[in-house]
Amino acid sequence: MLEVLRQPLEDGVVTISRASGTITYPAKFMLIGAMNPCPCGYFGHPTKECTCSNTMVSRYQKRISGPLLDRIDIHVEVPPVEYEKLADERVAEASAAVRKRVEGARDAQRRRFTGTSLTCNAEMGPSRCVISAVRKGRPRPC
């Protein structure tokens, strides 16, 4: 089922074909997913032992195809968090401070995309991405 997300992730639309015809709907979305590193969930864990064989770990991780992984822009490995830290009731960073950073980033994107219909990096095609990097004197893929 995950593989059918490739088209909407790539094109921002989903096309449904039936005998009576074909229809295309807008389908821009942000995909956020999580998975364990192996069937038991402890592969790479700092204190608990994984009970899976290398073959099981490899087979499990290949359940998500390379083409689908390629369409997910950010991959983050999240280490386990101890209960005491999760239960800590100290106040974290204020939402207003986070909002200020997000607004600053959005302002930078608006300046960057002035004169285009783009609003964020996800809307950039590969050619615009490289051109933008070259224009700033950094000819590297983004």
CB of 53 to Zn ion, least distance (A): 9
Of the candidates 5, 14, 27, 40, which one interacts with Zn ion according to CB under 5 A?
40
Q: Is 75 exposed, middle or buried (0-12, 13-18, 19+ CB in 10 A)?
A: exposed
CB of 59 to Zn ion, least distance (A): 12
60 binding Zn ion? (CB under 5 A): no
How many C-beta neighbours within 10 Å does residue 55 have?
8
Would you say 50 or 118 has its CB closer to Zn ion? 50
Would you say 49 or 89 has its CB closer to Zn ion? 49
CB of 50 to Zn ion, least distance (A): 3
- Phi/psi at 109 (nearest 5 deg)? -65, -40
Give CA torsion, residues 33, 85, 43, 67, to 10 deg.
Answer: 20
Identify which range of 33-41, 63-71, 72-80, 122-130 contacts Zn ion by CB under 5 A.
33-41
- Reference 116, options 108, 124, 105; nearest CA is 124
Cα gap 137→117, rounded to integer Å: 23
Residues 2-21 that bind Zn ion (CB under 5 A): none
Question: By the criterion CB under 5 A, which residues form the site for Zn ion?
Answer: 38, 40, 43, 50, 52
